[in-house]
Amino acid sequence: MSATALRHDWTLAEVRALFQQPFNDLLFQAQGVHRQHFDPNRVQVSTLLSIKTGACPEDCKYCPQSGHYNTGLEKEKLMEVQKVLEAAAEAKAIGSTRFCMGAAWKHPSAKDMPYVLQMVQGVKALGLETCMTLGRLDQEQTRALADAGLDYYNHNLDTSPEFYGNIITTRTYGERLQTLAYVREAGMKICSGGILGMGESVDDRAGLLIQLANLPEHPESVPINMLVKVQGTPLAEEKDVDPFDFIRTLAVARILMPKSHVRLSAGREQMNEQMQSLAFLAGANSIFYGEKLLTTGNPQADKDMQLFARLGIQPEAREEHADEVHQAAIEQALVEQRNGELFYDAATA
């Protein structure tokens, strides 16, 4: 099978046609594309930490951290650098290779930037890949983060340009694209995706993926989130996403962006093991690992490793993160699964 060519000129008609394929045909195509570029039984594992929580001035209708809504979330100031580094060390100990830090800001302030840069440098020194999401950046801030060693910058587009105004009014789509352009200019990798289940149409899902796939370079990481409905936000009563529609979107993302890591992100707490397994078959090959995604629940690490063992999946490793003890624990879990006695103790990792 010849390698799938990378394209940056997808049309709405083409992407609609992908979404309209029979489900089995779409997954078969996506899995074929996936195998051309990735080991189908490896999944990249990241941990996400909220380094500053709540009181965000943005009005994103899905977000419990927005200061516009009363969700009962306690506001927290920027974490101390040492506490962030301790959390990063714990994440590495349970098998994460990338540590992502998120702050509920419209944009980082001049007084906070020195602490943010220290976090990047400290996490990098632990041998982890670094990722941050801090809101809109200017060129100077972007260069400073790159100089500190930041590997990835996360800045989601959330949805299509056409639907975007129904979800957010305090930041334009153009501003989001400009931040992504600054990140590329500074030499960092991009993590950018969106959210399903906000009332958008299939064309909106297609439009989001087209925006990402038609960037001059595909994002290295594409998180596909399922809306986590939080009381107090305007989307708290939104209709659930059909699981097959969610899997279809993952598969189309894989086809459009063959070399990108497609991340099964927020909403995994609501997904059963069968749905997650289909997600991996559709080409998802990255997850967030740990008990929380910023402020919402996430499957516990040991449950993730149990599912990996049952599926014969292993965490994708960075060379400097090749932890023999963790690898041995995974291999033992696989052996015990074959013996019908599945057990994985995260404390040994």
346: in domain: no
Q: Quote the pLDDT of residue 46.
A: 85
38: in domain: yes
Cβ(94)–Cβ(46) below 8 Å: no
pLDDT band at 349 (very low <50, low <70, confident <90, very high): very low
Q: Is the pLDDT of residue 156 over 80?
A: yes
Task: Give the chain's domain count.
Answer: 1
348: in domain: no
For 160-190, b/e burial (b = at least 16 CB within 10 A) is bbebbeebbeebebeebbbbbebbbebebbb
pLDDT band at 96 (very low <50, low <70, confident <90, very high): confident
Q: SS3 for 308?
A: helix
8: in domain: no
pTM reported for the whole predicted model = 0.83
CATH code where residue 231 lies: 3.20.20.70
Average pLDDT over the chain, rounded to an integer: 84
Residue ranges for the known binding site are: 56, 60, 63, 100, 131, 191, 263
313: in domain: yes
Q: Is the pLDDT of residue 321 over 90?
A: no
11: in domain: no
155: in domain: yes
Catalytic (active-site) positions: 56, 60, 63, 100, 131, 191, 263
| Residues 49-83: tens digit of each pLDDT | 888 776 677 777 787 766 566 655 566 678 899 99
CA pair distance 175, 173, nearest whole angstrom: 5
Q: What is the mean pLDDT of residues 119-145?
A: 92
Residue ranges for the known binding site for [4Fe-4S] cluster are: 56, 60, 63
Q: Quote the pLDDT of residue 4.
A: 65
Structure tokens at 227: 């809306």
CA 112 to chain CA mean position, Å: 24
Residue ranges for the known binding site for [2Fe-2S] cluster are: 100, 131, 191, 263
pLDDT, greater one: 345 or 126: 126
Which range of residues forms the domain containing residue 182? 22-340
Structure tokens at 341: 């006695």
